[in-house]
Amino acid sequence: MKAKILVTGGAGFIGSHLTRELLATGYAVRVLDAMDAQVHGFATRPGYLDPNAELMVGDICDRDCVRRALEGIDMVCHLAAKVGVGQSMYQIARYTEENELGTAILLEQLVDAGVRKLLVASSMSIYGEGLAKIGSQLVEPPQRSLNQLKAGDWEPRSSEGERLEPVPTPESKSPSVSSVYALNKYAQERMCLIWGNAYGRDVTAMRFFNVYGRDQALSNPYTGVLAIFGARLLNGRPPIIFEDGLQRRDFVHVTDVARACRLALESPAAAGHAINVGSGESRTVQDVAHTLARAMGRNDVSPQIIGKYRAGDIRHCFADIALARMLLGFEPQVTFEDGIAELVEWLIEQVATDNVEQATEELSRRGLVA
């Protein structure tokens, strides 16, 4: 009989797909989720959550709830977190409490639990700017200055002012956090790895890049960029793109992410590592917006490139996935074209409340967009 796995945040976008992957491969799954209204509205159990998953509604910061959730559990996938770079810059206490304190409470409860493996969801945001080069020399770009951004000079530059060329970012790149959310994710990752080393438990941190697919929270203006663009297009409104739209990202399908997590649970070689989970390809945000609009038949709605920047944003970051290939035998299976086609098939059946302009106004009012 296979192990029983606790997935914290398992009723969310990535968590629900991971739950489905684990159940399909013979594991038993218990989900612990706070059912945050910003993500789930007023739903008590999402229709997309596999009916074979046991759902416990509760807060990761509630010690008694976490202790009960761990009863009879063999492995834990810790995905519960507040998500959103922009929102983290003003809901600082809430993000830090749920992301860092919640992880600390989980780790304290794990000390006396019979859990042999812990997987924690980290993020590409911890890198800040991705790795770059000048000629053949690799460099770690400094954070773009406020004066540079105000001048609309978007590309990372060396300390001598030379423009840098982005390259795939490996796990060896030094962290350079530029948002509260990124700091939270780095703290979660390090806390878990330190705990694992101290207590002799197998811990792996999964650094997710830009995850997309069906079942994202379309009415949450701080969710993934493709879901935000999809919600705008469903409402006949143009996707809003910051800076000039030429920033590059790595978009990885949620089913590939779920499979990578399962492989990490099953791979002894993954213990003690932080591992990139991406597609290994990069695309500009502008190209992604145009691709989605075409696929949705909304060629009449052109992306709105506003030439403004948000505090905490970075310019380029896309994954080097060599370590995932080596340690997990991971290879992305969903092409971007197929993933977009599946996303659109789901999107056209959805109703989304477009909250993007209100969210942008909230950031602007606080001086976080300029």
Task: Confirm if 54 and 71 have CB atoms less than 8 A apart.
Answer: no
- Neighbouring residues of 362: CB distance < 8 A, sequence distance ≥ 6: 90
Q: Where are the beta strands (DSSP E) in the chain?
A: 4-8, 28-33, 54-57, 75-78, 117-123, 132-134, 137-139, 165-166, 202-208, 210-212, 240-241, 248-249, 251-253, 274-277, 283-284, 304-305
Q: What share of the chain is helix, strand, coil (3-state, %, to 5)?
A: 40, 20, 45
Q: In what order do the strands lie in the sheet with 165-166?
A: 137-139, 132-134, 165-166
308, exposed or middle or buried, with CB in 10 Å at 0-12, 13-18, 19+?
Answer: middle
Q: Which residues of 46-72 are buried (b: 16+ CB within 10 A; e: fewer)?
A: beebbeebebbebbbbeeebbbebbee
Q: By C-alpha distance, which of 148, 149, 128 is closest to 140? A: 128
181 carries an active-site annotation: yes
HSE value, Cβ hemisphere, 13 Å, CA-based, for 87: 17
CA-CA-CA-CA dihedral for 289, 290, 292, 296, to nearest 10: 130
Write out the two tokens for 320. 């080097």
d(CA 262, CA 119): 9
325 phi and psi, to 5 degrees?
Answer: -65, -45
| Active-site position among 27, 95, 127, 181 | 181
d(CA 208, CA 126): 10
Q: Which residues are catalytic?
A: 181
